[in-house]
């Protein structure tokens, strides 16, 4: 039973349709399961993200620090209508994306974090996030900003997104870009992949989330043996 | 002319460095020097291969800087800039210095730190080697040239996307066995070409070339130490002899060639190298070819004379170019997966041959190799250096 003060601090919620899990065959032959994360998985996600907050390679520090705060806000019920999707390979976390519904018609993309690089996991997860907003949450558009040049190339240029500088994205910084339903369905054949349903055995393998080895993850993200350890 | 031996060889790990180009090159140079037992002998000259340090790393005069960093004074020092063929060109210059009797001990180092700039700038800096008024101003890049070349080659010889993918899969697999390779990740035919997800995993870069048909942008350095063959025994128990060199040029603008699928400079450079070594292509035990794009490995394997015209992809299909095949190609992982730090590449190809001929290539060791062949491909085939190494007695 929530006390009155806590209840007052929690934002009201919109109904959110669930994201149906899918699986994607990666270039190296491994299978990525993309599925929604449950709130009881927040702790393990936070634990995995934590050491990346000081890794300045390709803006991993700012993306990780902000994602950490957003997931903490999700866990503590301080962000309205937030969701989190995870990419899992053989039970091991390979990437995270999150966002939220601003209202019934508009979505806000928060962050995309790939923990295993070189396999386009970030691109697959971002595409899944857009799929969630447009196809399952049924929204008209998603507001997006990028913090890294990689993000800018992947989202703004590759889709391509439209400028909507009249809107200030709540992450601050650069003005918003927007993915509309029209843009999404044009890009869908090129950029949104995956097969449903996920075979039960494969889906079961994605629970519980296993932490990647820290050294392997840092070296892989840093793309160098000189990554901070 | 004196015979010339390689008495020391070394490479850094290729990939993404957080330290300076000079430090990378010093690491490779130090490795090559300590690989030989110089007994206090001084190095007479240093040749450094590099293409873009002044632009990308704000460091010009890199040869002088390396001498200073390594305390090699008063060694003569020259930087060799010959586009992607800078590495083998620098080795050739070092070879000439020793062969002529002008120098005894010559250090050749090649290095590039390309990831100090973003990948758009890196692609542009490499495209500076195209024809300024016939190609560059129209936005041509090396992937674009390779894409057009691939299309012509595929139409002419029946090469398919599967063949290109086979090159990538083989070279990624070889790189898994090379601790110094940039990309140590296996890839599968299904994952990059045949599955419904492959389009996203492996998008077109310059059709028909896809992401996994192109080499990565890498940092790295490699070095060799040269000495007269007659003195090599003083410094190492495993000398490797430089038995052949060949170099040739072609039109800078690719469209000016009567048939762009004929890589004349490759053919001439290879023929010169074989003539100098007194060898035939069939005598070669392994080769490092310049697979900046997968199609180039197939094309070069024919044009240097290893396989008849139009059959390079058939040899690939049969597994002849795998490590255990008749003619292993790119045992290091090639530019495709070992990486392509432009100035380092030609030296690095030679370092791989040295490791193989000495029997020091670890899990990727070819069985009893005698002669190794390297092809360093500058521009889009407008300046090519072929090198043949032979196992020392």
**Domains of chain B by start residue, with CATH:** 4-118+217-232 (3.40.47.10)
Query: Which member of A27, A123, A225 has the closest CB to residue B187?
Result: A27
**Is residue B392 over pLDDT 60?**
yes
What span, in angstroms and rounded, lies between the C-alpha atoms of A93 and A100? 21
To which H or E segment does residue B29 belong? helix B21-35
A1 reaches B (C-beta below 8 A): no
Cβ A193–B19 below 8 Å, yes or no?
Answer: no
Residue A160 preceded by cis peptide, ω within 30: yes
Helices marked H in A31-180: 42-49, 60-75, 121-131, 149-151
pLDDT in tens, B67-80: 999 999 999 999 99
**Cβ(A55)–Cβ(A227) below 8 Å:** yes
Q: Is residue A125 part of a domain?
A: yes
A222 reaches B (C-beta below 8 A): yes
Mean pLDDT, chain B, integer: 96
pLDDT in tens, B192-211: 999 999 999 999 999 999 99
Q: Identify the three-state secondary structure at position A30.
A: coil
Report residue A215's pLDDT band, with 50, 70 and 90 as the boundaries: confident
Q: Is residue A61 part of a domain?
A: yes
pLDDT in tens, A54-91: 988 889 999 999 999 999 999 999 999 999 999 999 99
What span, in angstroms and rounded, lies between the C-alpha atoms of A67 and A89? 21
pLDDT in tens, B286-315: 999 999 999 999 999 999 999 999 999 999
**Cβ(B103)–Cβ(B43) below 8 Å:** no
Cβ B183–A118 below 8 Å, yes or no?
Answer: yes
Query: Which member of B16, B188, B199 has the closest CB to residue A28?
Result: B188
A6 reaches B (C-beta below 8 A): no
**Is residue A110 over pLDDT 70?**
yes
Q: What is the pLDDT of residue B194?
A: 97
Which residue in chain B has the smallest CA separation from A226? Answer: B18
Q: Is residue A159 part of a domain?
A: yes
Q: What is the pLDDT of residue A58?
A: 87
Range of the domain at A70: 19-222
Structure-block tokens of residue B108:
């050749």
- ipTM entry: 0.89
pLDDT in tens, B279-292: 999 999 999 999 99
Q: What is the pLDDT of residue A221?
A: 82
**Is residue B145 over pLDDT 50?**
yes
Q: How far is B156 from chain A (nearest CA, A)?
A: 29
Q: How many CB atoms lie within 10 A of CB A137?
A: 23
Q: Is residue A156 part of a domain?
A: yes
Alpha-carbon distances of B280 from A26, B300, B309, rounded to whole Å = 42, 16, 16
Q: Identify the three-state secondary structure at position B44.
A: coil
Q: What is the pLDDT of residue A229?
A: 34
Cβ A226–B201 below 8 Å, yes or no?
Answer: no
Q: How far is B212 from chain A (nearest CA, A)?
A: 9
**Is residue B114 over pLDDT 80?**
yes
Q: What is the pLDDT of residue A228?
A: 35
Q: DSSP letter at B61?
A: -
Cβ B19–A25 below 8 Å, yes or no?
Answer: no
**Cβ(B217)–Cβ(B367) below 8 Å:** no
Q: How far is A209 from chain B (nearest CA, A)?
A: 23
CATH number, domain containing residue A191: 3.40.630.30
Alpha-carbon distances of B276 from B6, B227, B270, B271, B386, rounded to whole Å = 17, 19, 10, 9, 11
A154 reaches B (C-beta below 8 A): no
Here the contacts of B190-194 (C-beta below 8 Å, separation 24 or greater) are B190/A25, B190/A29, B191/A25, B191/A26, B191/A27, B191/A28, B191/A29, B192/A27, B192/B165, B192/B168, B193/B161, B193/B162, B193/B165
**Is residue B214 over pLDDT 70?**
yes
Please state the domain count of chain A: 1
pLDDT in tens, A126-167: 999 999 999 999 999 999 999 888 888 888 888 999 998 888
Q: Which residue, chain included where needed, has tokens 């140079």?
A: B29
Alpha-carbon distances of A28 from A79, A153, A187, B48, B189, rounded to whole Å = 37, 23, 24, 37, 9
Q: What is the pLDDT of residue B118?
A: 84
> With helix as H, strand as E and coil as C, how does B301-348 read?
HHHCCCCCCCCHHHHHHCCCCCCCCCCCECCCCHHHHCCCCHHHHHHH
Q: Identify the three-state secondary structure at position B384.
A: strand
Q: Classify strands B383-391 and B106-113 as parallel, antiparallel or unpaired.
A: unpaired
In a mutagenesis test of the A interface, which of B12, B185, B219, B337 is the best target, namely the one with the most A β-carbons within 10 Å?
B185
The count of C-alpha atoms lying within 13 angstroms of the C-alpha of A148, restricted to the half-sphere facing its C-beta, is: 18
Cβ B200–A190 below 8 Å, yes or no?
Answer: yes
Q: Is residue A212 part of a domain?
A: yes
Q: What is the pLDDT of residue A227?
A: 36
Residues of B within 8 A of A123 (CB-CB) are: 200
Mean pLDDT, chain A, integer: 92
As a residue count, chain B comes to: 393
């Amino acid at each position: 039973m929530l006390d009155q003060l806590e209840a007052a601090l929690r934002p009201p919620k919109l109904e959110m349709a669930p994201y149906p899990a899918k699986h994607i065959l990666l270039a190296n032959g491994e299978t990525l399961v993309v599925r929604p994360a449950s709130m009881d998985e927040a702790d393990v996600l936070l634990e995995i993200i934590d050491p990346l907050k000081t890794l300045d390679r390709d803006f991993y520090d700012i993306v990780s620090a902000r994602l950490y705060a957003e997931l903490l806000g999700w866990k503590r019920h301080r962000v309205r209508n937030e969701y989190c999707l995870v990419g899992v390979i053989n039970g091991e976390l390979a990437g995270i994306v999150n966002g939220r519904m601003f209202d019934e018609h508009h979505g806000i993309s928060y962050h995309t974090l790939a923990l295993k690089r070189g396999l386009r996991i970030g691109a697959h997860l971002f595409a899944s996030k857009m799929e969630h907003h447009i196809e399952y949450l049924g929204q008209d558009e998603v507001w997006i900003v990028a913090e890294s040049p990689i993000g800018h190339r992947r989202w703004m240029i590759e889709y391509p997104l439209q400028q909507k500088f009249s809107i200030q994205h709540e992450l601050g910084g650069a003005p918003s870009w927007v993915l509309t339903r029209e843009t999404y369905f044009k890009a869908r054949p090129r950029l949104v992949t995956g097969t449903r349903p996920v075979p039960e055995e494969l889906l079961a393998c994605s629970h519980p989330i296993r932490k990647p080895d820290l050294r392997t993850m840092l070296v892989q993200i840093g793309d160098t043996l000189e990554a901070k350890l | 002319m004196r015979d010339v031996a390689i008495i020391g060889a070394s490479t850094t790990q290729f990939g993404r460095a957080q330290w300076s180009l000079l430090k990378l090159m010093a690491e490779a140079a130090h490795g090559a020097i300590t690989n030989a037992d110089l007994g206090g002998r001084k190095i007479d000259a240093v040749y450094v291969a590099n293409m873009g340090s002044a632009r990308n790393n704000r460091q010009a005069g890199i040869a002088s800087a390396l001498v200073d960093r390594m305390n090699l004074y008063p060694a003569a020092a020259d930087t060799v800039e010959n586009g992607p063929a800078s590495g083998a060109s620098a080795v050739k210059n070092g070879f000439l210095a020793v062969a002529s009797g002008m120098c005894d001990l010559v250090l050749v180092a090649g290095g590039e730190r390309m990831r100090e700039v973003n990948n758009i700038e890196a692609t542009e800096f490499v495209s500076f080697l195209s024809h300024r008024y016939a190609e560059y101003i129209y936005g041509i890049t090396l992937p674009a040239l390779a894409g057009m070349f691939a299309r012509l080659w595929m139409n002419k010889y029946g090469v398919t996307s599967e063949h290109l993918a086979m090159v990538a899969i083989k070279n990624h697999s070889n790189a898994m066995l090379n601790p110094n390779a940039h990309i140590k990740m296996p890839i599968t035919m299904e994952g990059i070409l045949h599955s419904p997800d492959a389009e996203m995993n492996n998008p077109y870069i310059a059709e028909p070339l896809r992401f996994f048909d192109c080499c990565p942008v890498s940092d790295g350095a490699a070095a060799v130490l040269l000495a007269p063959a007659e003195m090599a025994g003083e410094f190492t128990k495993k000398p490797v002899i430089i038995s052949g060199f060949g170099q040739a040029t072609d039109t800078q603008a690719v469209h000016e060639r009567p048939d762009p699928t004929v890589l004349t400079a490759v053919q001439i450079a290879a023929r010169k190298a074989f003539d100098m070594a007194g060898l035939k292509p069939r005598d070669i035990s392994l080769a490092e070819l310049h697979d900046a794009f997968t199609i180039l490995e197939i094309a070069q394997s024919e044009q240097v004379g290893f396989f008849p015209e139009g059959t390079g992809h058939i040899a690939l299909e049969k597994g002849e170019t795998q490590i255990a095949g008749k003619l292993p190609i790119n045992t290091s992982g090639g530019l495709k997966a070992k990486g392509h730090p432009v100035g380092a590449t030609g030296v690095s190809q030679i370092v791989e041959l040295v490791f193989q001929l000495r029997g020091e290539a670890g899990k990727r060791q070819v069985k009893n190799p005698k002669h190794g062949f390297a092809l360093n491909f500058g521009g889009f085939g407008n300046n090519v250096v072929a090198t043949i190494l032979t196992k020392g007695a």
